[in-house]
A and B are shown apart, each in its own frame.
Chain A
Amino acid sequence: MIDWLFSPLVDFGFMRRALVAGLALSLVAPPLGVFLTLRGMSLVGDAMAHAVLPGVAVGFLLAGFSLPAMSFGGLVAGLLVAGLAGSVSRLTGHREDSAIASFYLISLAAGVMLISMRGSSVDLTHVLFGSILAVDSTALWLIVGVSSLTLIVLAAIFRILVVECLDPLFLRGQGIRGGAVHGLFLGLMVLNLTAGFQTLGTLMAVGLMMLPATAARFWSKRLEGLMGLAIAIGMVSSVGGLLLSYHAGLPSGPCIILLAGVIYLFSALFGRYHSVFARWRRRVQPMLPPDAHG
């Protein structure tokens, strides 16, 4: 068993790099996912993961399979879509999620079109689904750098993000518009999606953000608990998925995300709060006495 767990990491440099990349992403992507779920924006993460595609494609067309160029392109495209969606929402009064949904579809179509014009279907598959086992030193530095930056910025805006999520009007009462905080948060999300696309692909990078976060909600009612659990689930999925991928000869990205999916399903069935089991248990338990105070 120990050999099964450790020999791939001891024997192969690409596995060690993949492990560090997975752990670094697991440290910051799930907390962002927790905030996305709390803001009722679970699907916005998915939409933004698609939105980075034309930027990645332009980077690919200009510089070949260069991670910095593709990441930079993805970052610009993601921020552009977020900015445009926010502007359309403010100017028209439409909800921001519908504007993001519209722009991400335009963006996705443009990205696929660009890659199809100049690349092959193999390139498209690589961009869409990534390959964590092909992470080189440059990619690793980029991922670790993005994770460190995200951690610092998230710590700096944590309290204001909590206040803004819970009650935006309280923040406005202090003369602070939530727009800047919201924009910064979306920027962090796009940054992490672009860092994650090399390892998991543009379509699956959001999985490491959302699945640990949604699974954690079945186990904790406290914000700190949600954050810690989501990170732990992300890390277990990354390490487990990586080893599974190595030993079974399966693609690494889907292995990691499917493992996170299994943890989510288990949590939905047997989690401590609001799971199928927890709801059944509440139904069969005797009633508690009413509160002493109104």
Chain B
Amino acid sequence: MARSMAKPDTLLTLESLSLAQGNRMVLENIDGHFEAGTITALVGANGAGKSTLVQGIMGELRPVSGRVRCEVPNARRAWLPQQLALDLTFPMSVEELVMSGCWPTHGSFKRYGPAEYRRGQAVMQRLGLQSFEHRPLGELSGGQRQRALLGRTLMQEAQLLLLDEPFANVDAATVEVLIDVLRAMAAEGAAIIIVLHDHDQMTRLADRVLRLERGHGFWFTPATINDSSSPAETLA
């Protein structure tokens, strides 16, 4: 398989990436370029390696071979994993969670100024969270929690965003809000990779589709994904 050249606005490149879980090879020779402003849907059957690929991209799994090349600094990478590690009993409000998106740029000592708080308010308004801003995390519904987590990502001004099934257990109104915000983030130049199962959501949201099957990756457009015999491109 020949490797195509990366475009100038490529934020993430996968080069013959092979990943394993323990001693079981999960993915082999995955190639791809992820450009600024594009939303890529990651699809495949359960166990096909979607979460493994996300872990590999985020550096959680060391590649068996090949490599991940990321042009985005750590502070601008965001990851909303499938199994939320978020402690819902933690004594923190929605506003504080959203503001914690400033942490990667502000570190341990720099104060959050009025500009950051104004931006936080704007983010919460955009996500319809303003009436919950002082509510503790433990009292949020699944949809409200997902909005708050995306709010943290917006505060972070993430350039590379990986989401693992963000619409699972989320109400329809929240799905609409999240789709609008993700599209706006892409329009502002972010590269978004999103693990999806729902075909309708994929058609509405994604520019490209990477389907994982039998350990390999196949590239499609949302329009051609159903015609599995003829992928639009086998390489990005």
Contacts and interface: CB of A to CB of B under 8 A. Distances in A.
Contacts of B100: 162-163, 166, 170
Interface string A208-229: 0000000000001111011000
Nearest to A176: B74
B117 to A, nearest CB: 16
Interface string B96-118: 01001001100111000000000
A138 interface: no
A167 B136 contact: no
Interface stretch (B30-38, B76-84, B190-198, B201-209): B76-84
A157 B107 CA distance: 10
B131 A293 contact: yes
Interface residues of B, number: 36
A212 B85 CA distance: 27
A169 interface: yes
B59 interface: yes
A294 B141 contact: yes
Instruction: Specify the main secondary structure of chain A where it touches its partner.
Output: helix
Contact of A223 (B92, B108, B128): B92
B136 A221 contact: yes
B143 A173 contact: no
B146 to A, nearest CB: 11
Given A166-B92, A166-B100, A294-B174, A175 B74 contact: yes
A221 B90 CA distance: 8
Contact of B79 (A156, A173, A222): A173
Contacts of A159: 103, 107-108
For B97, B103, B171, B174, the residue with the greatest tally of chain A CB atoms inside 10 Å of its CB is B103
B173 interface: yes
Interface string B124-136: 0000100110001
A172 interface: yes
A225 B96 CA distance: 14
B48 interface: no
Contact of B86 (A167, A225, A226, A293): A167
Contacts of A156: 108-109
A166 B131 contact: no
Nearest to A160: B108
Contact of A292 (B89, B131, B174): B131
B131 A291 contact: yes
Interface in A35-69: 38, 40
A294 B144 contact: yes
B58 interface: yes
Contacts of A158: 108
Contacts of A173: 58, 74, 77-79
A293 B74 contact: no
B69 to A, nearest CB: 15
Interface in A108-159: 156-159
A187 interface: no
A220 B91 contact: yes
A38 B79 CA distance: 23
Contacts of A160: 103, 108
Nearest to A293: B128
A225 B60 CA distance: 35
Given A221-B136, A223-B91, A175 B85 contact: no
A222 B93 CA distance: 8
A294 B85 contact: no
B171 A294 contact: yes
A168 interface: yes
A38 B132 CA distance: 23
Contacts of B89: 38
A293 B127 CA distance: 11
Contacts of B86: 166-167
A165 interface: yes
A243 to B, nearest CB: 32
A38 B87 contact: yes
Interface in B28-83: 58-60, 74-75, 77-79, 81
B54 to A, nearest CB: 11
The 8 A-B residue pairs with the shortest CB-CB distance in the complex, in nearest-first order: A173-B79, A175-B74, A169-B85, A294-B173, A166-B90, A174-B74, A167-B86, A159-B108
Given A38-B91, A166-B87, A173-B58, 9 more contacts: A156-B108, A157-B108, A163-B100, A166-B100, A167-B87, A169-B79, A170-B100, A175-B77, A294-B141
